[in-house]
Chain A
Amino acid sequence: MNQDIFVVVEHLRGQVADISYIMLAAARDLAQATGGEVVAVLLGHNAQALASNLAANHVLYGDHSSLAEFTSDAYTQALAGLLSKEAPRAAFFGSTSIGSDVAGVLSARLGLPLVSSCVQIADGNLISQICGGKIMAESALSDEVTTLVTVIPGGYKPAQGQAQTSPAVTTFEVSIAAPRVSLKQYIEPEVADVDISAENVLIAVGRGIQTEDNLELAEELAELLGGVVCASRPVVDQGWLPTARMVGKSGKSVKPKLYLALGISGAPEHVEGMADAEMIIAINMDPDAPIFDIATYGAEIDLFDLIDPLLEALEGA
């Protein structure tokens, strides 16, 4: 085993995902502790140009027609061979629709330890955020074998993992046998009535809104404040709002002037999409809700007690 930190670069339809840069920044921190280098691993087909601004000591590029689009099977096969041969100290994957599909399979196939939801590096250890952001866990790297790590945003900015100069690229052989998973087609996001990422004021509702009928209260607030209603995942999964109104990991990223979060706990998957809002106001009954750690203002109060007085006060304003 060597002391290098591998970063499996994620990209989709010709664009490197922000999580890749975030991982490179985290890998830099860890490589300083281990004394190794940061090595970006790029998989694709005619995709070498995507390496141009990766902040890595060098890039390992694997090209294969089966890697033209992400599939779990082809990526896993390509990476299993590489990791066995190179044996880096650690390999980073996004805690995403791409990285999570392969990291676990590789852990089981190669018998390597896996640490998930890593948000920060501290003294060569991995700091994970679990239980909706309410618990942190510090884990050590294995001294004997490669540790696989999935990374969540929050600890590093994408810009920290971007470079002005192109890193050196070496290609490696990829062999992929009869993949059992294939991409049929992409389905574009539904066309939305409003683009929440372009709004100045967002009234965001979470699990705490309890019923579909209660959405009306949020709509009234939105109307008085000149904004629109958006939601965290559980509300959209109930079918109460369309997917286009979802903020977070698999939804939109937003940066409004005001983000009024009603009954949203602030799990990392949600925070990922709204942490950059100019002003966050959180209303939640749980004093330990992680949303209060990133909000500008907070109130530990039942949102149903608050809404009527707030509507009245706004009407009088």
Chain B
Amino acid sequence: MTNIVVLAKLVPDLVEELEIAESGTALDMEWLRLIINEFDNHATEQAIILKERSGGEVTVIAPEAEGANEMLYTIAAKGADRLIMLKGDFEDGINNHALARAFAGAAKELKPDLVLTGVQANDDLDGSVGPLVAEYLGMSYVGYISGVSVSGETVVARKEYPGGLIAEMEVTLPAVLGIQAGEEPPRYVAISKVRQMMKTATIDEQEVGDLDASGGAMVQRMYVPEAAERAEMLEGDEEEVAARLVEIFKEAGLV
């Protein structure tokens, strides 16, 4: 029976255009569209797989943000038992050191055996959340994990190295694991089930108080990169682009 805590956050949807805030040192949060960090989604899946396999309880903790309610209810519909939303001064964004301290404060109360979170997030600028939380909780950390099995006081985690090499790491519990991919792709959950959760599940709101952001990056400026060179863009409709591509393939001796 394992007590698992999942730490999840929302990140900018990179399909949308990103803008820099007036300060020049942060993303403009006002128009940002947020989605669940894909690696947190994998961490959620891994937690629910572990629960299905050997029992236990899954608690998800997320900071408040536009869409955080929906994210939490969706995770509940997938099988999480308990939902916690951290409330605080997050509107202008917070760094991962501050977030990790807030996560650790809430997780400590739950006395977890295992804490799972995404190995990274696309907006990380001061490291990822996992190793910071691990240290604040006094637990071990291992990241780049794509498979977890729990046995008694230890967990065996499959750690990924370049080229497809895997290292099986044995980690003494309690521990924090940074999930790269769950054993299975994140499951789909019907919107009707999510709606049902909105009616039946409760989100436990917790104030985090003053945020301590020390240890973050000292950002001088943020900007959209201008490429020194850019691709030669092929213009026209799909027929024209297709014809031009075939020419290019011919020039290169590929067809």
Most chain B C-beta atoms within 10 Å of own C-beta, residue among A125, A130, A185, A286? A130
* Residue B224 CB within 8 A of the other chain: yes
Does B54 sit within 8 A of A, measured CB to CB? no
A141 to B241, CA, bound (A): 47
Contacts of A225 in B (CB 8 A): 249, 254-255
Interface assignment of B218: CB less than 8 Å from any CB of chain A: yes
Q: How many residues of B contact A (CB 8 A)?
A: 85
The residues of B that contact A130 with a CB separation of less than 8 Å are 122-125
Residues on A with C-beta less than 8 A from B142 are 72, 101, 181
Q: Which residues of B contact A296 (CB under 8 A)?
A: 231-232
Q: Mark B227-250, 1 if CB is under 8 A from A, else 0.
A: 101111110001101110110111
Question: Once the chains bind, are B14 and A108 in contact (CB under 8 Å)?
Answer: no
Contacting residue for B17 out of A237, A251, A288, CB 8 A: A288
Q: Is the Cβ of B248 less than 8 Å from the Cβ of A313?
A: no
Contact between B167 and A116, CB atoms less than 8 A apart: no
Binary contact track B62-89/A, C-beta < 8 Å → 1, others 0? 0000000000000000000000000000
Q: Name the residue among A109, A139, A185, A238 with the largest chain B CB count within 10 angstroms.
A: A139
In the complex, A184 Cα to B149 Cα: how many Å? 13
Given A97-B161, A137-B222, A234-B38, A313 and B131 contact (CB-CB distance below 8 Å): no
Interface-located stretch among A43-51, A163-171, A187-195: A187-195
A183 with B169: CB separation less than 8 A? yes
**Which residue of A180, A293, A297 contacts B234 across the interface (Cβ within 8 Å)?**
A297
Contact B219 A265 (CB under 8 A): no
Please, what's the 1-or-0 string for A197-226, where 1 marks a CB less than 8 Å from any CB in chain B?
000110000000000000000000000111
Instruction: Give the shortest distance, in Å, between A241 (CB) and chain B (any CB).
Output: 12
* Residues in chain A near residue B162, CB distance under 8 A: 17, 96-97, 249-251
Cβ of A190 and Cβ of B164 under 8 Å apart? yes
In the complex, the answer to whether A115 meets B126 with C-beta atoms within 8 Å is yes
Which residues of the other chain, B, contact A298 by a CB distance below 8 angstroms?
Answer: 230-234
Q: Is A136 an interface residue (CB 8 A)?
A: yes
- Contact segment of A22-30, A59-67, A82-90, A300-308: A300-308
A16: interface (CB < 8 Å) = no
| CB pair B163 A134 closer than 8 Å | no
**Main SS of chain A's interface residues?**
mixed
CB < 8 Å neighbour of A104 from B131, B232, B245: B131
| SS of B interface (majority) | mixed
Is A162's CB within 8 Å of the partner chain B?
no
- Nearest-CB residue, chain B, relative to A208: B15
In the docked arrangement, what's the CA distance between A242 and B242, Å?
A: 29
Assess A104 versus B231: contact at CB under 8 Å? Given A113-B216, A130-B125, A317-B255: no
Please state if B161 and A181 are interface contacts (CB–CB under 8 Å): no
B252 sits at the interface (CB 8 A): yes
CA distance A263 to B171 in the complex (A): 38
Docked pose: A286 CA to B233 CA in angstroms: 13
A100-B131, A250-B144 known; A128 and B217 CB under 8 Å?
yes
Q: Is A35 an interface residue (CB 8 A)?
A: no
CB within 8 A of B131: which of A103, A132, A135, A139? A103
Q: Is A243 an interface residue (CB 8 A)?
A: yes
Q: 1/0 per residue A93-114: CB within 8 Å of B?
A: 0001100111111011101111
Contact across chains for B141 and A72 when beta carbons are under 8 A apart: yes
The reply on A282 being an interface residue by CB < 8 A is: yes
Query: A97's contact among B122, B160, B225, B239, by CB below 8 Å, is which?
Result: B160
- Alpha-carbon gap, A176 to B1, bound state (A): 31
Query: Is A150's CB within 8 Å of the partner chain B?
Result: yes
Given known A97-B143, A101-B142, A113-B126, contact A299–B131 (CB-CB < 8 A): no
27 A-B pairs with CB atoms under 8 Å apart are: A12-B161, A72-B140, A105-B141, A107-B215, A116-B128, A116-B217, A125-B220, A134-B14, A135-B224, A136-B222, A139-B218, A140-B218, A180-B172, A181-B140, A183-B169, A186-B168, A189-B163, A201-B254, A267-B14, A288-B17, A297-B248, A298-B230, A299-B234, A300-B233, A309-B239, A310-B246, A313-B243
Instruction: List 16 additional A-B contacts (Cβ < 8 Å) besides A105-B132, A225-B255, A309-B242.
Output: A72-B143, A97-B160, A107-B126, A108-B135, A108-B215, A112-B215, A116-B127, A141-B218, A184-B168, A187-B165, A201-B254, A267-B122, A297-B232, A306-B238, A317-B246, A317-B249
Give residues in B with beta carbon < 8 Å to A. 12, 14-15, 17-18, 20, 27, 38, 42, 97, 100, 119-120, 122-128, 130-132, 134-136, 140-144, 156, 158-172, 175, 178, 180-181, 184-185, 214-225, 227, 229-234, 238-239, 241-243, 245-246, 248-250, 252, 254-255
